[in-house]
Structure 1
Amino acid sequence: MNSTLFLQSDISNPYLTYKTMLQNNPVYWDETNKIWALYSYEDCVSILKDPKAEIPTVNPNNEQKLNKKALEILNNLTRLSNGIQHKISKEIAMLLFSKMKSVDITSILSQLIKNNLAANKMDWVNSVCKKLPLLVVLKSFNFEDKDCSFILYQIESLVKIMLPQKTEEQVKSINEISETIFSIVEKQLFQLSFYESLSAKITESNALSLDEIKTISISNLIGLFIQSFDAGRGILSNSLLQILNNKTFSTKTEIEKSVIETLRFDPPIHNTRRIVVEDIFIGESLIKKNDSILLVLASANRDPKKFKNESKFDMERNTNTENLTFGIGGHMCLAKHFSIHLATEALWFLFNEFKTIKILENNIQYEPMINARLPKVIWISLQ
């Protein structure tokens, strides 16, 4: 194997590759890309919990030429920060998350299906998965319909802000929309009843100005939009495929267990990266300061030392909740329980509402991404 980095669109079954690497090269130096790749559960957990392994800088010295607002968004995201900056932005993100009001997921889903179902057929990915999680977040913070429509329309361009490498066209699109989205979120944040108390609480515990708190809050609310779009669509897409394949849709509890097992068995996010700030050892391998590490979480999720019968979809396995798809430690995704709940409610409504649901695709195609395995389209029939 020459390279650990490949596009998910170029490989039909990456799990065969992961299995081979886990057996033969669980700690692997990829000379082509100058990156370490870790495939075992134990090693991935070790790095995820190690403070000497930090999140790599996405846009050092603004070499990608992002404008002021795009740069503010990127630089203040909890998921991309380290040290004290991460501590502060995570506290703000958690407070924002705790203030989300409950919305009726099924009514939003019902409307999306009604708007997109034609001749009993629908593209599940583009009709629902790319819209439902983001709409639920927007409605949870009382965004107006016109603002919801604008953000929904522009989100696919905005999520490119997370890419380590961006094309000139992608940077241009990000710069064009970031100021407007920042302004929309800023206006809405000031109208939310809890924002003043949130600001006071953060000011009390950290030496931050109100402007700094505002920028971090706006950025992380936008970050929640981004997560809703990419990871949210993946959970809904992959869970539907696995539930239909394994026929585990008789009760809501069965669906919830299936969503959790999908997060282990066929997760939307396959890998994440770290950079070490001091020399460390993984087994007998010396990882030197400033070396990059690829944590192959999808491989760790199928490590037989952790998960019995790892290649079998088993919603009753008692270790399924210990999958690494949402991370672990300080950078564990805050949207874990929200995402599982949303997928469970949406899929239970779908299977409860329609007697027959069939996949019309013989061969699912995936987006050309390295870190995520996201179906491009999933045509289904609903009867």
Structure 2
Amino acid sequence: MNPTLFLKSDVSNPYLIYKTMLQNNRVYWDETNKIWAIYSYEDCVSILKNSKAEIPVVNANNEQKLNKKTLEILNNLTRLSNGIQHEISKEIAMLLFSKMKTVAINLIISQLIKSDLTENKIDWVNSVCKKLPVLVVLRSFGFEEKDCEFISEKIESLVKIMLPQKTEEQVKLINEVSSAIFLIVEKQLSSLHFFESLQAKISEANSLSLDEIKTISISNLIGLFIQSFDAGRGILSNSLLQILNYKTFSNKDEIQKSVIETLRFNPPIHNTRRIATEDISIGESQIKKGDQILIVLASANLDSEKFENPINFDIERSNNNENLTFGIGGHMCLAKHFSIHLATEALWFLFDNYKTIELLENNIQYEPMINARLPKTIWISLQ
């Protein structure tokens, strides 16, 4: 099997591949796919922090035939932008994050469980993980209940906007959903008391019109929905599996440590991509301008030069929070602390309110994705 671009659904244990590559090919040129794969912690950090390694363009020249609103969202997302555009988008995204209100996570998860619990059984992924993170973000910004329901129902179609390649059917659904969600978010943002001053502040500092600031703001709030669905779903799913396996659920502190160690040991996102805008040297390897780069974050998290006994799930390891799952440098995921907090609160609610939680599946199936390892379902019993 090719060690670089493979579907996580096709491999029972991708970490064995990463272990082999760490031992033999820490920086690897994949001739078949014409891409560099970076496996070691040190080299992944080097690329993530290198200004000569930029986020690749998605949908150049709109060959995917996205409509106007979809393009506005895609072209303004912080995680897909570079240079000054990235700096402006990041500043706006951080300001939006700072305005999130605290919501009752326990109440939301309780309602989700009660709605879908049948004969003491529930699919943790589809009943909770795909819904809770997005609902928390939506309610943090005061969206009306009908809008929360609509966006929660449509978010799985919307996240396909991030795919480098899309089918005609996916494009059709994305165009329909993104236009509707854009208008909902525009209406809600415009009603929030802080938004006018935020617009004026960013506009004056960056010589952009108020309408341009509004579009960037709408796009990045939608980006928070997308990140919440992808990363939030994965953290909640993978953390539950590890906590059940290692029985690390005696108190909330132990739950939080388990979430952080899961992000290192069994992360939802396994790799991210860059493109070299100039020649880059890594050890004896020469990455040429225009070369594609795959940064294998999940492999870096297993590097024994960084983490002691990395193949062991150890919640007491002192540097577990230095995992690269959320990235590092300018493009580090802004939702890191939010995601860890949400997963900790949700999982502690689960183990604090149910005396017995049992996994009902022996063989977890994963989504057919190259960049992420996300369980399709996790059936559990709650007593």
Q: TM-score range by the shorter chain?
A: over 0.9
Letter of the aligned partner of 1:91 in structure 2?
A: E
**1:179 alignment counterpart:** 179
> Comparing 336-345 with 169-178, which one deviates more in the overlay?
169-178
**2:131 alignment counterpart:** 131
Contact 1:3 1:33 in 2 (8 A): no
1:24-39 correspondence to structure 2 within 5 Å: 24-39=24-39
1:382 aligned onto 2:382 = yes
Query: Post-superposition shift, 1:3?
Result: 4.8
CA distance in 1, matches of 2:200, 2:156: 34
Over aligned residues, Cα RMSD in angstroms?
0.6
**1:309 alignment counterpart:** 309
**2:279 alignment counterpart:** 279
Letter of the aligned partner of 1:133 in structure 2?
A: P
Residue 381 of structure 1: SS of its match in structure 2? strand
CA distance in 1, matches of 2:290, 2:209: 33
CA 1:88 to 1:108, structure 2 compared with 1: closer, same or farther past 3 Å?
A: same
Q: TM-score normalized by structure 2?
A: 0.99
Query: Post-superposition shift, 1:200?
Result: 1.4
CA distance in 2, matches of 1:2, 1:375: 22
CA distance in 1, matches of 2:304, 2:240: 25
Contact 2:3 2:17 in 1 (8 A): no
CA distance in 1, matches of 2:102, 2:193: 15
Residue 316 of structure 1: SS of its match in structure 2? coil
**1:239 alignment counterpart:** 239
| Deviation by residue 1:308-332 (Cα, 9 ceiling, x = unmatched) | 0000000000010100000000000
1:211-360 correspondence to structure 2 within 5 Å: 211-360=211-360
CA distance in 2, matches of 1:283, 1:91: 34
Structure 1 gap segments, 5+ residues each: none
Instruction: Name the % identity.
Output: 81
Residue 294 of structure 2: SS of its match in structure 1? strand
CA 1:2 to 1:111, structure 2 compared with 1: closer, same or farther past 3 Å?
A: closer
**1:4 alignment counterpart:** 4
CA distance in 1, matches of 2:87, 2:202: 11
Contact 2:133 2:233 in 1 (8 A): yes
Structure 2 gap segments, 5+ residues each: none
Residue-pair matches, total: 383
Residue 57 of structure 2: SS of its match in structure 1? coil
Contact 1:3 1:32 in 2 (8 A): no
**1:145 alignment counterpart:** 145
1:193-208 correspondence to structure 2 within 5 Å: 193-208=193-208
Letter of the aligned partner of 1:226 in structure 2?
A: I
| Deviation by residue 1:195-215 (Cα, 9 ceiling, x = unmatched) | 011111101211100010000
CA distance in 2, matches of 1:187, 1:275: 36
| Deviation by residue 1:2-31 (Cα, 9 ceiling, x = unmatched) | 451000000000000000011001111111
Runs of 4+ in 1 over 2 A off after TM superposition: none
Query: Post-superposition shift, 1:150?
Result: 0.7
